[in-house]
Amino acid sequence: MRKIFTVLVMLIFAIGAFAQKAERSNVKQGNKAYEKENFTEAEILYRKSLDVNPTSKEGTFNLGNALFRQSKFKDALQQYEIAGANDSTKLASALHNMGNVFLEERDYAKAIDMYKKSLMVNPKDNETRYNLAYAQKKLHDQQQDQQNQDQNKDQEQDQQQQKQDQNKDQQDQQDQQKKQDQKQDQNKDQNKDQQQQQQQPQQDQMSQENAQQILDAFLQDEKQTQQKVKEKQAQQMQKRSRSKNW
């Protein structure tokens, strides 16, 4: 029974030693590929080291670097978080690299926060201090650009509002002028109607006068005609009288 236990213990140690050897071999080969800037191959080898030993501190941290150099920032950030949580000796470097991720993504506020946390762990890191100053400057420039954009936007909105107000004033003036023109036209029509109404009785009166003149002329003609008839009858009567006497 003891022999079996001893064999199992030796087997476990042998497997562990083999795993450590495989892990170190993959990390070593990954580092060589990383130095040659073959970051895709380095990523593959670091992942192999984690397949053998998921808690590999060096494999985890270096995988984050390989991912970062491929601009896989989200995945790199995850590896740095794991590395910082599992290895206190890598915490300052992990925080520094997390700051670099946010710097690349132009999230300068978070980058500043990561650099400050890294300096709290390792205050003597000049590179981190330089990156912090750089991130602070970029954040200031970003805020200044945003402020300028907001001002320009406000100016454009003010100009548009002024233009709209001017157009509205012009439209109001045109509408007012149109109303005045319409009122003048109405007044002209009313005056014309009044003039026509005033002229109409005169025209009627003139017609009556003409009618009276025509009637008077007719009566005069009739009177003259009757006078002529009477004169003719008188002449005839005289002729008859003469004939009879004769």
Shared fold status for 9-71 and 87-141: yes
The domain made up of 9-71 has a fold known as: 1.25.40
Buried/exposed 141-155: b ≥16 CB within 10 Å, e otherwise: eeeeeeeeeeeeeee
Averages of pLDDT over each 10 residues, the chain, 246 residues: 46 47 93 97 97 94 97 97 93 97 97 98 96 98 93 84 85 86 81 69 60 73 74 67 40
Placement of tokens 């562990």 in the chain: 16
State how far the Cα of 236 lies from the Cα of 151, in Å rounded to an integer. 125
Cα 175 to Cα 180: distance, rounded to the nearest angstrom? 9
pLDDT at 29: 97
Domain boundaries, the chain: 9-71, 87-141
CATH number for region 87-141? 1.25.40.10
Contacts of 128 (CB under 8 A, 6+ apart): 92, 96, 99, 115, 118, 119, 122
Q: What pLDDT is attached to residue 228?
A: 76
Per-residue pLDDT at 3: 53
